[in-house]
Amino acid sequence: MDDWLAGFMAEETLPDSFRATFDEVCRPLGDRALDWRADFGRTAFVGLCGAQGSGKSTIAAATAAYLRAHGLRAVQMSLDDFYLGREARGWLAGQVHRLLQVRGPPGTHDVALACAVLDGLRGAGETLIPAFDKAVDERAPRSRWGRVEGPVDVVILEGWCVGARPEPAERLRTPVNRLERQDDPTGAWRGYVNRQLGEGYQALWSRLDRLVLLQAPGFEVVRGWRTEQEAKLRARTGAGMTDAEVGRFVQHYERLTRWILEEMPGRADWRIPLRPDRTPVPQR
- Convert the pLDDT of each residue in 126-163 to its tens digit: 999 999 998 889 999 999 999 999 999 999 999 999 99
User: What does the mean pLDDT of the chain come to?
Assistant: 93
pLDDT at 236: 75
Q: Which of 64-73, 176-185, 275-284 has the lowest mean pLDDT?
A: 275-284
pLDDT at 284: 59
Which domains are assigned to the chain? Answer: 3-271 (3.40.50.300)
User: Whole-prediction pTM value?
Assistant: 0.94
Express each pLDDT in 99-119 by its tens digit. Answer: 999 999 999 999 999 999 999
Express each pLDDT in 206-233 by its tens digit. Answer: 999 999 999 999 999 998 898 887 877 7
**What percent of the chain lies above the pLDDT cut of 90?**
80
pLDDT at 283: 72
66-72 long-range Cβ contacts below 8 angstroms, 24+ apart: 66/5, 66/22, 66/26, 66/27, 66/30, 67/30, 67/33, 67/34, 67/153, 67/154, 69/2, 69/4, 70/30, 70/34, 72/34, 72/37, 72/153, 72/154
